[in-house]
């Protein structure tokens, strides 16, 4: 087909038990936690930003708690340690408060508490890939950034240092009982974090929209999310307390999480896992560095091998949404993304130490990544290497 639509829709949509969104809703967190249990395992980021008010609320409600800080992107070792501490403390529910790292760590810990075993029993690619048979221990997700959408995704991205790769612990049983999104919690994000997380959100709206697993339900979320990100990402970076811009980006992040969890991603995220596993490179910044080049190579490959694909038509729709110009063509969307990345000073992959000699191994690892499976066209090793070369 060439009109951007799908026939014979057949899909599944799974998400958190409840989604609560709005300014000031973080004040409801302690009451929600009380419904989940009597002793909370509270996973926060390195700074514990916004934790004081949450912990004070838990104390007022009579909920006991133990805190656990995640100072970097989560690893299999960190999740093992968090699970051990939660078991030792007798916690009966988990709260994840912070960015994607904190939320993913909380998600993995809640799942291991319910299922037992080691992270490597369950992770993809480098682990045994066993199913998580039991639903995660009750947990509450409270994001303080606007990018990953991890509060509504059914996987936790963990770095395996011994394998030098990032892999996923994945199951619909990992979804939280409650996802609470309060845009006010993002006001204090610095511009560089706003940029990298916001570009991650944009990537997670574009990739599911052209994914081979796209469906009518996620399509609407992607379109609405792209509109909001296009009009507000720059403004959120420049004016951190702009309420409309922050709300737009919080919604873009949420919609991206809902979309990727139910329609998959693509090559940008397929590369982000091995790059992030081998180099000290933030996930959102890596996705941003790759995104315009993935778009360009995907479009070329689709024209050559799948000219009637609905995904090819959708790159034109993306251009029209991002530019606000109904006459825009697909190449205009790529240029818009490139200009945005330049305006927001997105670092190159080379700035993180990635060099030409690293490309063959990164291509090999990316080809095995789960995100690559939903890319709208199967890329050749040469095309994959070209994407990385352009992003250096």
Label residue 186 exposed, middle or buried (CB < 10 Å: 0-12, 13-18, 19+). buried
More confidently predicted of 1 and 200: 200
In which band, very low, low, confident or very high, does the pLDDT at 354 lie, cut at 50, 70 and 90? very high
Whether 1 has a pLDDT exceeding 50, the answer reads no
Q: Residues 275, 286: contact at Cβ < 8 Å?
A: yes
Mean pLDDT computed over 328-346: 96
Instruction: Supply 137's token pair.
Output: 């221990």
Q: How far apart are the C-alpha atoms of 110 and 164, rounded to whole Å?
A: 24
The Cα–Cα gap between 387 and 63 comes to 50
Q: Read off the pLDDT of residues 185-202 as tens digits, 9 standing for 90 and up.
A: 999 999 999 999 999 999
pLDDT at 2: 44
Which pLDDT belongs to residue 159?
A: 86
Span 289-299, pLDDT tens digits: 999 999 999 99
Residues 179, 18: Cα–Cα separation, whole Å? 6
Question: Which token pair is 246?
Answer: 């922050």
Report the C-alpha gap between 320 and 326 in whole angstroms: 5
Q: Where are the domains of the chain?
A: 25-181, 191-391
The predicted structure's pLDDT at residue 129 = 87
Q: What is the pTM of this model?
A: 0.94
Q: Residue 71's closest CA among 38, 49, 41?
A: 49
pLDDT at res. 8: 59
Q: Which parts of the chain fold into alpha helices (H)?
A: 29-36, 51-61, 76-89, 100-115, 119-122, 191-210, 216-238, 243-263, 267-278, 283-305, 310-323, 330-343, 359-367, 381-391
Closest CA to 268 of 173, 260, 250: 260
For residues 331 and 252, give the distance between their C-alpha atoms in angstroms, rounded to a whole number.
23
Q: If pLDDT is split at 50, 70 and 90, which confidence band does 234 have?
A: very high
Model pLDDT, residue 6: 55
Q: What pLDDT, on a 0 to 100 scale, did the predictor assign at position 49? A: 80
For 108-118, b where at least 16 C-beta lie within 10 A, e where not — what string?
bbbbbbbbeee
Residue 45: Cβ within 10 Å count: 23
pLDDT for the residue 282: 86
Look at 126 and 321; give whichever has higher pLDDT: 321
29: how many CB neighbours lie within 10 A of its CB? Answer: 23
DSSP state of 47: S
- 106/59 Cα distance (integer angstroms): 20
| 22 against 283, higher pLDDT | 22
CATH fold match for the domains 25-181 and 191-391 = no
Mean pLDDT calculated for residue range 257-261? 97
Q: Label residue 72 by pLDDT band (50, 70, 90).
A: confident
Q: How confident is the model at residue 43 (pLDDT cuts 50, 70, 90)?
A: very high
Distance of alpha carbon 85 from alpha carbon 314, whole angstroms: 47
- Coil, strand or helix at 67: strand
- Per-residue pLDDT, 4: 59
The residue to which tokens 């909370």 are assigned: 40
- What are 301's two structure tokens? 């490959």
Name the architecture of domain 191-391: Up-down Bundle (1.20)
| CATH code for the domain defined by 25-181 | 3.40.50.1970
**CA 83/CA 171 separation, integer angstroms:** 18
Whether pLDDT at 103 is above 80: yes
Distance CA 194, CA 207 (A): 20
pLDDT of residue 164: 78
pLDDT at 163 over 90: no
> How far apart are the C-alpha atoms of 377 and 310, rounded to whole Å?
11
**pLDDT higher than 80, residue 126:** yes
What is the predicted pLDDT for the residue at 5?
59
DSSP annotation of 112: H
Measured distance CA(112)–CA(285) in Å, rounded? 29
Mean pLDDT, the chain, rounded, equals: 94
Q: Three-class SS of residue 153?
A: coil
Cβ of 35: how many Cβ atoms within 10 Å? 12
- 271: nearest Cα among 367, 160, 356, 158: 367
Q: Which of residues 118 and 7 earns the better pLDDT score? A: 118
> What is the DSSP-derived secondary structure letter of residue 92?
-
Q: How far is CA 314 from CA 113, 172, 240, 320, 384, in A?
A: 42, 28, 32, 10, 21
């Amino acid at each position: 087909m060439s009109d951007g639509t799908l026939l014979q829709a057949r899909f599944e949509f799974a998400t958190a038990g409840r989604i609560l969104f709005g300014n000031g809703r973080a004040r409801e967190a302690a009451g929600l936690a009380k419904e989940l249990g009597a002793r909370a395992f509270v996973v926060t980021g390195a700074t514990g930003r916004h934790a004081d008010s949450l912990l004070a609320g838990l104390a007022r409600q009579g909920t006991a708690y133990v805190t656990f800080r995640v100072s970097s992107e989560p690893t299999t070792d960190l999740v093992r340690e968090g699970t051990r501490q939660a078991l030792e403390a007798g916690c009966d529910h988990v709260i994840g408060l912070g960015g994607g790292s904190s939320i993913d760590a909380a998600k993995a810990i809640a799942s291991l508490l319910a299922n037992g075993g080691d992270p490597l029993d369950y992770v993809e690619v480098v682990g045994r890939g066993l199913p998580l048979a039991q639903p995660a221990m009750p947990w509450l997700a409270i994001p303080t950034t606007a990018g990953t959408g991890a509060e509504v995704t059914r996987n936790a991205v963990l770095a395996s240092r011994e394998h030098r790769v990032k892999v996923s612990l994945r199951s619909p049983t990992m979804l939280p009982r409650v996802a609470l999104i309060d845009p006010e919690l993002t006001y204090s994000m610095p511009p560089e974090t706003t940029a990298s997380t916001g570009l991650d959100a944009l990537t997670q709206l574009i990739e599911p929209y052209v994914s081979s697993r796209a469906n009518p339900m996620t399509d609407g979320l992607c379109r609405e999310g792209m509109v909001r990100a296009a009009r507000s990402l720059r403004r959120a970076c420049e004016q951190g307390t702009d309420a409309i811009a922050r709300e737009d980006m919080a919604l873009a992040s949420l919609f991206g999480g809902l979309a990727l969890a139910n329609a998959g991603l693509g090559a940008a995220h397929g590369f982000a896992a091995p790059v992030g596993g081998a180099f000290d490179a933030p996930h959102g910044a890596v996705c941003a560095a790759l995104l315009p080049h993935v778009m360009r190579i995907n479009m070329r490959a689709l024209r050559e091998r799948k000219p009637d694909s609905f995904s090819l038509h959708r790159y034109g729709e993306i251009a029209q949404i991002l530019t606000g110009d109904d006459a825009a063509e697909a190449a205009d969307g790529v240029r818009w993304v490139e200009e945005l990345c330049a305006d927001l000073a997105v670092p190159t992959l080379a700035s993180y130490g990635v060099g030409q000699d690293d490309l063959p191994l990164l291509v090999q690892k990316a080809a095995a990544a789960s995100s690559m499976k939903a890319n709208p066209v199967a890329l050749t090793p040469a095309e994959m290497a070209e994407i990385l070369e352009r992003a250096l």
